[in-house]
Homo-oligomer: A and B are copies of this chain.
Amino acid sequence: MAKELKDLTKRSVDYSRWYNELVVKADLAEQSPVRGCMVIKPYGYAIWESIQQNLDARFKATGVQNAYFPLLIPKSYLSKEAEHVEGFAKECAVVTHYRLKTNDEGNGVVVDPAAKLEEELIIRPTSETTIWNTFRGWIQSWRDLPLLCNQWCNVMRWEMRTRLFLRTSEFLWQEGHTAHATREEAEIRAKQMLDVYADFAKDVLAIPMVKGVKSATERFAGALDTYTIEGMMQDGKALQSGTSHFLGQNFGKAFDVKFVNKDNQEEYAWATSWGVSTRLMGALIMSHSDDNGLVLPPHVAPIQVVIVPIFKNGEQEKFDAVLGELTKKLQTKGIRVKYDNAENKRPGFKFADYELKGVPVRLVMGGRDLENGTIEVTRRDTLEKETLSFEGIEERVVSLLEEIQENIYQKALKLREEKTYTCTTYDDFKERIKDGGFFVYDWDGTPETEAQLKADTQATIRCIPNDVSQDNLGTDMISGKPAVARVYIARSY
């Protein structure tokens, strides 16, 4: 492991390769033999579980309930909502048969042509269609509304170019689907869930997200508005990290979901959907990690503190007594702590491994520490070491974890602020975008200009940000026309 760590490509040399190597070396995930599908390894999955638990509690606090809807969707459902089929029917996994049989040579299996499905089934790329088909049976009256459902599941989109966590054919996610009696209530819900995502990203992942609304071109297929959180990675590129859609009555109409309102009139239900996925793992890694490996914010780290003793033969018991007690004290304070007294690995190997895995705090006690009543404390974010009194160390660890959480967030925020620029001329922009960054751009509002921007520079409109003033709009630097919106543009993952 220590050797492997040395091999990690530096960010400054090749950021993209650094990421790909780190995901594998830190035991987060690996490619599977099935094209574009990944295996999430135990350490990576523990981080995902940490994300899930925290988000799930936040959803439930807003009244959302979990449920489960089928993996397979009849092909015809996709065609019911006109824009949705354009967006999702293209690259998807199609189930055509339901049986295999032994081949003629008797040494393998082949598809049984007799077991062809009457209608093909699609592995869900997203579940609006099947869920709104189900909602029809659940919604009759305004009393049945709002209906607030979420599911944690796997989805599949047949991607041509894949990267672990960032873009995989199969990925894990949550998809929330809500039905409402009024347009206003649905719009409020869509924005509320974006806030839940952004707050979670800040509080837990220590990522400052830009909140905003997508341009029409970048909207979810079937949405009237798509709200987004965009994170800036260390290379200045944007990563769309979560979206929340106001779907209007499009799915209500497509699947005939009507309710009787308080005035005894029939109306179509109003919809939202919102999701985050294992892509958040990519956001987490690329926001904070360094040339030594992962840097995990304490609030999401599966192991927050690791304690390593350095002992000579025959001394283990003494260390186990003292550090076992410390372990318990920290656990009592709700800290996820690991006491690693394994004898088959040397301390130096352990240090490098926990550094690579991004454990926020490392406590090391050697023979002299034991004598002197001290302990060495190393924080992963800054790699600073100090030797402290063992007495009361647990209080120091608790406050240190919060300091680290805050420091990691502030560092990411500072980077984003430093790399957020205002556009001047198009030529200037074309040159500067090569180094990444978010650019404030006064846009003429046309898809044509948006398309030209992308073709010329690979940059796209990330969103119309909530926290940027729309006053005194200038002239579009590309078309020279008057601007109608102030947006962020950036290259993205």
A-side interface residues toward B, CB under 8 Å? 30, 32-34, 37-42, 45-46, 48-49, 65-76, 78-79, 85, 89-101, 107-109, 111, 120-123, 130, 133-134, 137, 143, 149, 153-154, 156, 158, 170, 172, 344
| Contact assessment for A111 and B93 in the assembled complex, using a CB-CB cutoff below 8 Å | no
Give the number of times this chain occurs in the complex, counting copies. Answer: 2
| Contact assessment for A70 and B39 in the assembled complex, using a CB-CB cutoff below 8 Å | yes
Q: Of B42, B100, B143, which contacts A89 at CB under 8 A?
A: B100
A-B contact list, 9 entries, CB within 8 Å: A34-B74, A37-B72, A39-B67, A39-B68, A39-B134, A48-B68, A71-B170, A94-B100, A94-B111
Chain B residues with Cβ below 8 Å from A149 are 42
Q: Of B42, B74, B170, which contacts A67 at CB under 8 A?
A: B42
Q: How far is the CA of A38 from the CA of B69 in the complex (A)?
A: 7
| Contact assessment for A98 and B108 in the assembled complex, using a CB-CB cutoff below 8 Å | no
Q: Of B37, B65, B95, B137, which contacts A70 at CB under 8 A?
A: B37
Q: How far is the CA of A65 from the CA of B149 in the complex (A)?
A: 28
A154 — nearest CB in chain B belongs to which residue?
B71
User: How many Å from the CB of A411 to the closest CB on chain B?
Assistant: 30
Q: A46-B65, A66-B46, A109-B78 are in contact. Are A134 and B32 (CB under 8 A)?
A: yes
Q: How far is the CA of A172 from the CA of B344 in the complex (A)?
A: 39
Chain B residues with Cβ below 8 Å from A89 are 100, 109
Q: How far is the CA of A149 from the CA of B45 in the complex (A)?
A: 11
Q: A76-B108, A158-B98 are in contact. Are A38 and B70 (CB under 8 A)?
A: yes
A149 — nearest CB in chain B belongs to which residue?
B42
Chain B residues with Cβ below 8 Å from A130 are 32, 34
User: How many Å from the CB of A203 to the closest CB on chain B?
Assistant: 23
A64 — nearest CB in chain B belongs to which residue?
B42
Q: How far is the CA of A158 from the CA of B49 in the complex (A)?
A: 30
| Contact assessment for A172 and B95 in the assembled complex, using a CB-CB cutoff below 8 Å | no
Q: Of B39, B96, B108, which contacts A79 at CB under 8 A?
A: B108
| Contact assessment for B42 and A66 in the assembled complex, using a CB-CB cutoff below 8 Å | yes
| Contact assessment for B97 and A34 in the assembled complex, using a CB-CB cutoff below 8 Å | no
| Contact assessment for A111 and B120 in the assembled complex, using a CB-CB cutoff below 8 Å | yes
A91 — nearest CB in chain B belongs to which residue?
B99
A37 — nearest CB in chain B belongs to which residue?
B70
